[in-house]
Amino acid sequence: MAYEGYRIMTMTAAEIETYVLEYISPSEDDRQRLTATITELQSRVEQELANRKAEASVELVGSTAKDTFLRTNLDIDLFLVFPPTMNKKDIAEHALAIGRRLLQDPEECYAEHPYLRGIFNGFKTELVPCFRIEDASQKLSAVDRTPLHTKYIITHLQQDQRKEVRLLKQFLMGIGCYGAEAEIEGFSGYLCELLILYYDTFHDLLNKASHWQTGIQLTLLDKPMASFDTPLTFIDPVDPERNVASALSTEKFTLFVEACQVYLDRPQVTFFFPRKIQPWSLDEINHHMNALTSTFVGVVFAKPPIIAENLYPQVRKALRSVQQAACQYGFSVLDSQYSIDDEHNRVFLLFKTEDETLPETYEHMGPPLKKSKHAEDFFQKWEYHPQVVRGPYKKEDRWYVELRRTYRTLQEYLKHEVKALPMGKHLDGIVQQRYEVLEQDDLLVDELRCFWTEYFARKKPWEW
């Protein structure tokens, strides 16, 4: 987005938003091209269903159906709606077979039913099977609600509110909070539409959201709300037992609230179209590393060939698993981050730690003196154990032993123990087969320059 020289420093919020809308709103040519593509795709899917003698209707869902899509993000979501009497295996088989025939570069994904995403006439397209339902209480899988979501928004969202939804989506894109997928953990398109329904305009939403506190609950229904332990709850008007904001992480919730506060005070185009990060040189990154009293240690392994929705939760699980295990062993892990290098298919787990060597021994606490059975078990385990340096001995009202450490540095611990930790379904085998532990100097590599630049600069997306 080229906006340099457009009176950036003096533009009002209204001028900025007018400018943004001019850029993100679909033109008449965009609409005609999209409509023609959707018509062709629907016709071909219907013909494929007829050829397979499969009883199903074809429904356009998502932002293209609701006219809340961005010109820069023209996706087609087509649902193949089957009668609930069919079984999941059959509807998945139909959808996958049709998708492979019609889409270029098809990629199989999973959302309770397998489905395909790919390209049709240059547009990113998803073909998703679901069951036909009239009410969310009839759902056989989560995706069955989606056509109901589309109908709800088409029915309730006013024409002039569509531009408000577009502004909100672009604002969230600009600050890195748009998308409920695992990679982002942000606001879904449906949640954006509901927020505009609730607050009416983009600016009213920002004014209210700038005062949000963690745990805020919103609903469009006139009935008691179900309770969810999430930073934001927005009850799905189609399915009152569901929280539309369940994917939103605390980090992205907090970032959105801060962005609202700052934008209202100092509006800038960069909230919608952030500048591209210019990564620092490795020398500059090294200078910042050396200024710390702590050090960085990394674990790197091959990225499995799975979709992002499956990869990111497992990488986060692996990061937590390693940090928790290291801390339980006695190491000080001050911070942990991850970076996924798609170009070289590598995953980095990065740990900021005290530059320390643990003492040769540590004290291990046993049972209370009065628990004779437990004390007996404790003695049987430790009395002649080769790791024991001293004890068992009494201290205050408990038994203790002093044990010799197996590992005294975090690097040594990671080299031997990571492969035994739970990392995730697709990561366990990879890590057990091969991984590397990297010292700080080994982490000064080109593929991590953007990561380290963001890490040390500590800038918000709109500040670059």
Return phi, psi of residue 343, to 5°: -65, -40
Note the pLDDT of residue 375.
87
Note the pLDDT of residue 10.
75
- CA angle centred on 203, ends 71 and 151, rounded to 5°: 55
- Neighbour count for residue 397 (Cβ, 10 Å): 8
Q: CATH topology of 157-271 equal to that of 361-404?
A: no
- Residue pair 279/459 in contact by the 8 Å Cβ criterion: no
Does this model's pTM top 0.75?
A: yes
Please give the helix or strand (H or E) that residue 400 lies within, else none: strand 398-404
Residue 412 tokens read as 């040594």
Assigned architecture for domain 282-357+408-463 = 2-Layer Sandwich (3.30)
Which CATH number among 3.40.50.10190, 3.30.9.10, 3.40.50.880, 3.30.460.10 corresponds to the domain 28-150?
3.30.460.10
Residue 34 tokens read as 């999209």
- Fold topology of 361-404: Alpha-Beta Plaits (3.30.70)
Task: Give pLDDT < 50 ranges for the chain.
Answer: 2-3, 6
Note the pLDDT of residue 397.
86
Note the pLDDT of residue 464.
92
Kindly tell me the sign of the dihedral angle through the C-alpha atoms of 311, 147, 256, 170.
positive
- Residue pair 239/136 in contact by the 8 Å Cβ criterion: yes
Note the pLDDT of residue 317.
96
- Fold topology of 157-271: Poly(a)-polymerase, middle domain (1.10.1410)
Note the pLDDT of residue 225.
87
Which residues, other chains included, contact 94 with Cβ-Cβ below 8 Å and sequence gap of 6+? 49, 52, 54, 56, 80, 82, 129
DSSP-assigned letter for residue 308: H
Break the chain into its structural domains and give their ranges: 28-150, 157-271, 282-357+408-463, 361-404
Per-residue pLDDT tens over the stretch 296-341: 999 999 999 998 989 999 999 999 999 999 999 999 999 999 999 9
Note the pLDDT of residue 7.
56
Per-residue pLDDT tens over the stretch 66-91: 999 999 888 999 999 999 999 889 99
